[in-house]
Amino acid sequence: MHAVNSNGANIPALGFGTFRMSGPEVLHILPEALRLGFRHVDTAQAYRNEAEVGEAIRKSGIPRADIFLTTKVWVDNYRHDAFIGSVDESLRKLKTDHVDLLLLHWPGSCVPMAERIGALNEVRKAGKVRHIGVSNFNTAQMEEAVLFSDAPIATNQVEYHPYLAQTKVLQTARRLGMSLTAYYAMANGRVPSDPLLKDTGARHGKTAAQVALRWLVQQKDVVALSKTATESRLKENFEIFDFALTREEMAAISGLARPDGRIVSPAGLAPQWDEAA
């Protein structure tokens, strides 16, 4: 599996996401994902499954150093003291002395950006975190985060799939040396039944889901998170590095984007999004 280098972080291009996965689901499917070859695991304080993620990794027999582990600080913990305490709690649950990447989960908060970014830098200096990043930030917030940070910002994790153009965010990320980490790649179930994606997959002997994931990771500086609780889909999601989309196919898939393509935008947490371009 290839990796994306963003501001010093070498991030495996395909990650296993655990959003909306219960503890028992994580304990069942994550060991299988690791056995299959996934080495990038994404969780968050808000997912309430960090303990199970940590347990699955510990029992997998795979050296911790071989796994790129990401978690995210929830908005309620952005004040300095709460932030530090919450990271320590996450590390206890994850059964590790560090995470490879720590993100601010959403921008919506009354805590000043300087305080949030300062706390990110502090836990990094303490060795609890190897790389820092953000999630669901618009381009102005990305610029602000970089301005306040001593350490490089590695990535911005955002919703990204064929129906949502993220051109402006991706261009800004590249200019700042960051990557874009894509979540909701299946667009809440729309991708597998899309006629264009199915037809494209048929030409390559692949599924529509594999085409969408390949479209993401084939873009420069883009990391994709996949998520499934089904073992057969797990293998399908992983097998996206043995084919390539043509320039014409990449453009056609990008052409599926529409102005109302965004799915995730919780009030009070989400920013004023950049207009799609």
Are 40 and 12 within 8 A, CB to CB? yes
pLDDT given at position 275: 83
- Does position 235 have pLDDT exceeding 70, yes or no? yes
Q: Count of domains in the chain?
A: 1
Question: Does residue 52 belong to any structural domain of this protein?
Answer: yes
pLDDT given at position 155: 98
Range of the domain at 65: 11-254
Question: Does residue 223 belong to any structural domain of this protein?
Answer: yes
pLDDT in tens, 53-104: 999 999 999 999 999 999 999 999 999 999 999 999 999 999 999 999 999 9
For the chain, strand residue ranges (E) read: 3-6, 9-12, 14-17, 40-42, 68-73, 99-104, 129-135, 153-159, 179-183, 222-226
Find residue 17's DSSP bridge partners. 42
Are 133 and 103 within 8 A, CB to CB? yes
Which token pair is 254? Answer: 């990008």
pLDDT given at position 1: 67
pLDDT in tens, 15-42: 999 999 999 999 999 999 999 999 999 9
Question: For residue 6, what are the contacts with CB-CB under 8 A and spacing of at least 6?
Answer: 154, 155, 173, 177, 178, 179, 221
Mean pLDDT check: name the lowest of 96-100, 167-171, 226-230. Answer: 226-230
Alpha-carbon distance of 265 to 28, in angstroms, equals 30
Question: Does residue 4 belong to any structural domain of this protein?
Answer: no
Question: Does residue 201 belong to any structural domain of this protein?
Answer: yes
pLDDT-based confidence at residue 168 (cuts at 50, 70, 90): very high
Could you tell me what percent of the chain has a pLDDT over 90?
Answer: 97
Question: Does residue 3 belong to any structural domain of this protein?
Answer: no
Question: For residue 243, what are the contacts with CB-CB under 8 A and spacing of at least 6?
Answer: 204, 205, 206, 214
Are 187 and 161 within 8 A, CB to CB? yes
Instruction: CATH number of the domain at 212, please.
Output: 3.20.20.100
Question: Does residue 61 belong to any structural domain of this protein?
Answer: yes
Tell me the mean pLDDT in the region 220-246.
95
- Of 37, 14, 9, 19, the closest CA to residue 222 belongs to 14
Q: What does the mean pLDDT of the chain come to? A: 97
Give the residue numbers marked as catalytic. Answer: 47
pLDDT given at position 277: 55
Backbone torsions φ then ψ of 99, nearest 5 degrees: -115, 155
pLDDT in tens, 102-154: 999 999 999 999 999 999 999 999 999 999 999 999 999 999 999 999 999 99
Instruction: Report the 10 Å Cβ neighbour count for 199.
Output: 13
- Of 162, 165, 183, 181, the closest CA to residue 173 belongs to 181
Question: Does residue 164 belong to any structural domain of this protein?
Answer: yes
